Amino acid sequence: MNKPALRDVPAFLAALAAAALFAASLTLPVWHLKMESPQYQGSEALRVRVYPGSMHGDLREIGVLNKYIGVRIPENLPQLRWLPVALLAAAALGVVAFALPRIVRARAWFTTAAILSLVMLISAAMAQWQMHRIGHQRDPHPPLKGVANFTPPILGRVKVANFQITTGLGAGAFLIAAGILLQAGAGIASRRVAGACCCEHEPRLAPVRAHSGAAV
């Protein structure tokens, strides 16, 4: 393996690690919710785990309880359809970029990391908007009166009726964030290698020697 190829190894390894993290994140929750009340405490608390492509947990029981305050949780979220596609595409592009020229490869890794970051931000914004709708577009005549409109936060706590709702990021979200950083790092490393190789191949001018004495 020649010297330029050896310099590419860190970028290759970072991009491969990023692809592995994106793929692994599909099997882990990216967000979770916990609902606690005097009747549901500790291990009995109601929980929801959101994966890149699905939702799991005590959805049926939460749905029954929400009817008392006029809340309906949507069964299908649009971002759960295209988020797995975005993660797999980012993983695939990170690997395919190996075949591209160095400078193009670096741009491809930077662009993929930036686009996936934007996708994650859009997904989070959509989730926050959806939770706002859940807490405000309610049945005007619920069985349980006196519960004000509410908006569960993406990260944090809120009290609704006698329930304390806690939300937070799951392990999948941290894997995605780490993958984005690794892919951007691969772009930085590849760009540095490209710059170093260009400098090595620049023609060097021969030094000009000073001549003493006058010509006759």
Instruction: Tell whether 210 is covered by a domain.
Output: no
* Residue position matching structure tokens 């029954």: 64
Instruction: Tell whether 144 is covered by a domain.
Output: yes
CA distances in angstroms from 89 to 35, 54, 204, listed in the order given: 34, 18, 43
Instruction: Tell whether 185 is covered by a domain.
Output: yes
Tell me the angle at which helices 102-136 and 171-200 cross, rounded to the nearest 10 degrees: 160
- What is the model's pLDDT at position 199? 47
Instruction: Tell whether 151 is covered by a domain.
Output: yes
Q: Tell whether the model's pLDDT for residue 38 goes beyond 50.
A: yes
| Residue 213 or 110, more confident | 110
- CATH number for position 132: 1.20.140
* pLDDT one-digit tens code per residue, 121-133: 999 999 999 999 9
Record the pTM: 0.83
Whole-angstrom distance, CA of residue 53 vs CA of residue 48: 14
Instruction: Tell whether 206 is covered by a domain.
Output: no
| Token pair recorded at residue 81 | 């359809």
Residue 166 pairs with which residues in a beta bridge? 34, 157
By mean pLDDT, which of 3-17, 88-102, 168-182 is the weakest?
3-17
Q: Tell whether the model's pLDDT for residue 63 goes beyond 70.
A: yes
Instruction: Tell whether 209 is covered by a domain.
Output: no
Find the Cα–Cα–Cα–Cα dihedral 163, 49, 86, 90, rounded to 10°: 120
Positive or negative torsion for Cα 122, 124, 128, 134: positive
Whole-angstrom distance, CA of residue 169 vs CA of residue 163: 20
Instruction: Tell whether 215 is covered by a domain.
Output: no
Residue span of the structural domain in which 93 resides: 3-199
With pLDDT > 70 as the criterion, what percentage of the chain qualifies? Answer: 85
Q: Tell whether the model's pLDDT for residue 214 goes beyond 50.
A: no
147 — pLDDT class (breaks 50, 70, 90):
confident
Looking at the structure of the chain, the number of domains it has is 1
The whole-number average pLDDT for the span 31-42 is 92
- What is the model's pLDDT at position 191? 76
Instruction: Tell whether 207 is covered by a domain.
Output: no
